[in-house]
Amino acid sequence: MDLTNKRIAVYVTGGIAVYKVANLVRGLIKAGAEVQVAMTQAATEFVTPLTFATLTRKPVLTDLFNQDQPDHVAHIHLADWSNLAVIAPATANLIGKLANGIADDFVSTALLATIAPKLIVPAMNEHMWFNPATQRNLTQLKADGYTVMEPDNGFLAEGYTGVGRFPETTAIMAEVVQQFGPQRLSGQNVVVTAGGTQEPIDPVRYIGNRSSGKMGYAVAQAAVTMGAKVILISTRPELPVPAGLHKIIYVETAAQLQGTVSSVFEGADVVVMAAAVADFKPDQYVTHKIKKKPHPTDMQLTLNQTPDILAMLGQQKTHQFLIGFAAETEDLLQNAQTKLTAKKVDLLVANDVSQADRGFGADQNAVTLLRPTAAPETLALADKSVIATQILERVANLLA
């Protein structure tokens, strides 16, 4: 996700979700945006301006009549400076004011004065949300050209479940990116596999690997952000589901992964095999828990090779762009090059999983990209979300 050179005004109004906006502001800054925060008086009751001033390294604007900078009128300056206005959380009150052109504080006045695209992220009690006045005001704002995000359904601050929750930061970030124009993978069907497979020995034991699924999830999220229709096939139901997915399918074993990826392969344009598929599985599944034997009896477990899913897809592909991952602990490039050729993949992402700060389980990765007809390209150590975007940028270039 790249928001370099984007100037975003974040207008914070007085709802309980204000504390979540600190995370959003961090995310926008991390993605390269320049952010200026303005708050309503009510918003400052929930979180002090100091939090946002520290994150943005700029004073937070709250007072319409503050004369600190006599060379310009602050609300008009912010209105003209920003190329996107994000109102988060947007209270029912502010939604009502905007729908009726009321400008009686810094936030509402700057918003009336800005011609930048406006993204509204409402959050409120379910009954406030469904109140006919709120719904009428939202209809008006949509007609006026505002983009309104739907609040999530979930556990509310009131202690019960309902509609009105502030959406996840990743979903808002994806919406922000969309506001800045055409996306490079729009119209592409992308299938991503993520996590390590588990091959059961008996009802309580399995053979697994250390793949956390984080890289695959980052690729899925980046593909959504770039406009793709994404199916994620995952072995990790405990991870938060990336926002904006077309579908998520959970699997456990290599055989299930093979069946699922085969069923969606035909309709895919890009297939990213980030899952770490077990190479071996127990010859037999024992339907009851295997009992310990008296010491010192050893136990033998016979393993069979699992099908090579990547090679199978390489054989079957017609129009699909196939991306494989090679996790190696030695002779990284040599092994990856062999895999690239043998399995007929279009792009191989090779990563060294012998180092603790990258690869399996870590939040960061450093990889080398191998292509059949180009020199290897190294992507320096960075967050997996950054690496994911860099990989998909290359894919978008090759598809274009």
Active site residues: 209
User: What pairs with residue 325 in β-bridges?
Assistant: 349
Strands of the 247-250 sheet, one edge to the other: 247-250, 229-234, 189-194, 270-273, 321-328, 347-352, 364-371, 374-383
- 307 known ligand binder: yes
Interface region with ligand FMN, contact rule CB under 6 A, candidates 15-23, 78-86, 135-143, 285-293: 15-23
Whole-number Å distance between alpha carbons of 234 and 261 = 11
The CB-of-90 to ligand FMN minimum distance in angstroms stands at 7
CB of residue 95 vs ligand FMN: minimum separation in angstroms?
A: 8
Site string for ligand FMN, 119-138 (x = CB under 6 A): ----xx---x----------
42 touching ligand FMN, by CB under 6 A: yes
Given a contact cutoff of 8 angstroms between Cβ atoms, the answer to whether 156 and 126 are in contact is yes
12 vs 228, beta carbon nearer ligand FMN: 12
Question: Is 317 annotated as ligand-binding?
Answer: no
Neighbours of 290 (CB within 10 A): 13
Q: Smallest gap, in angstroms, from Cβ of residue 8 to ligand FMN?
A: 19
User: Near ligand FMN by CB under 6 A, which window of 8-16, 212-220, 313-321, 347-355?
Assistant: 8-16
Q: Provide φ and ψ at 32, rounded to 5°.
A: 105, -5
Q: Does 103 help bind ligand FMN (rule: CB under 6 A)?
A: no
Q: Which is nearer to ligand FMN, 105 or 346 (CB)?
A: 105
Among 82, 93, 212, 253, binds ligand FMN (CB under 6 A): 93
245 lies in the site for ligand FMN, by CB under 6 A? no
309 in a labelled binding site = yes
Of 263, 244, 243, which is closest to residue 193 (Cα–Cα)?
A: 263
Q: How far is the CB of 43 from ligand FMN (least distance, A)?
A: 5
Q: Does 94 bind ligand FMN (CB under 6 A)?
A: yes
Taking the least distance from each CB to ligand FMN, the nearer of 91 and 209 is 91
Which two tokens mark 376?
Answer: 């290897």
109 binds ligand FMN (CB under 6 A): no
Closest distance of CB 155 from ligand FMN, Å: 13
185 binds ligand FMN (CB under 6 A): no
CB of 99 to ligand FMN, least distance (A): 13
Regarding 13 and contact with ligand FMN (CB under 6 A), the answer is yes
Site for ligand FMN (CB under 6 A): how many residues? 15
Is 308 annotated to bind ligand?
yes
Nearer to ligand FMN, 20 or 214 (CB): 20
Residue type present at position 96: G
Tell me whether residue 13 or residue 189 sits nearer to ligand FMN (CB atom).
13
The reply, when asked if residue 200 is annotated as ligand binding, is no
**Min CB(154)–ligand FMN separation in Å:** 13
Q: Is 98 in the site for ligand FMN (CB under 6 A)?
A: no
* Residue 310 assigned to a binding site: yes
Following CA atoms 330, 334, 335, 339 in sequence, which dihedral angle do they give, to the nearest 10 degrees? 160
Binding site for ligand FMN (CB under 6 A): 13-17, 40, 42-43, 91-94, 123-124, 128
Binding-site annotation, residues for CTP: 279, 289, 307-310, 325, 339, 343
